[in-house]
A and B are shown apart, each in its own frame.
Chain A
Amino acid sequence: DSGVTQTPKHLITATGQRVTLRCSPRSGDLSVYWYQQSLDQGLQFLIQYYNGEERAKGNILERFSAQQFPDLHSELNLSSLELGDSALYFCASSVALDPAYGYTFGSGTRLTVV
């Protein structure tokens, strides 16, 4: 157990629907990062939050949004889902804005859009 908790582990939904993925960072970690891993692809950075504030944005679609709450858990909202949104979505956390640290990853949420 890495200490980063993602729920749900699996999600199957229809096109056009909206889903929410949840992430609880490791205790003490202030930064949360969301990544998308499509089939046979590397991890694409979506968005980062630090202590409740958005810090960096990557290739995140306008249909996607995220937030980090006062208790530091984060949610990634995906709307108007398309077949191409099917992927593994990872949340990761780190203790501070110190690049010497790698991230600690959750086990991911497998999203299947049908």
Chain B
Amino acid sequence: AQTVTQSQPEMSVQEAETVTLSCTYDTSESDYYLFWYKQPPSRQMILVIRQEAYKQQNATENRFSVNFQKAAKSFSLKISDSQLGDAAMYFCAYRSRGGDDKIIFGKGTRLHILP
């Protein structure tokens, strides 16, 4: 079974600085999708960025980018120019390309932005 591990329960970063959230996963599959979701205090789950495993190029969405290392099964999220609105819980998630299509989530990293 696939698993997703986020080893940093909490992190803090100064406003305008850059922070990297770590995620590792375990799978025997070769084709899959990885996601980062953000959960602000409003509780809403918001998709931040997605990566397709068969694409070597790292995904980027404005200030958010990922470092996808397929061989190492690592999928970190970099947030540049951190803003107060980035304060939230961030979840790394995995989804198979075929078969079972449920999304498996890590336990999350709570990110604090220091003004």
Segment of A20-28, A69-77, A97-105 engaged in the interface with chain B: A97-105
Residues of chain B touching chain A, judged by Cβ–Cβ distance below 8 Å, are 4, 32-33, 35, 37, 42-47, 50, 52, 91, 93, 95-98, 100-108
Q: Which of B42, B47, B52, B104 contacts A45 (CB 8 A)?
A: B104
Q: Which of B4, B45, B98, B106 contacts A92 (CB 8 A)?
A: B45
Q: Nearest Cβ in chain A — how far from B95, in angstroms?
A: 5
Residues of chain A touching chain B, judged by Cβ–Cβ distance below 8 Å, are 2, 31, 33, 35, 40-43, 45, 48, 55-56, 58, 88, 90, 92, 97, 99-100, 102-105, 107-108, 110
Interface pair A88/B50, CB less than 8 Å apart: no
Given contacts A99-B96, A100-B33, A107-B44, 20 further A-B contacts (CB under 8 A): A33-B102, A40-B107, A41-B107, A42-B105, A42-B106, A43-B45, A43-B105, A48-B102, A56-B102, A58-B102, A90-B45, A97-B101, A99-B97, A99-B98, A100-B52, A102-B35, A102-B47, A102-B95, A103-B45, A107-B42
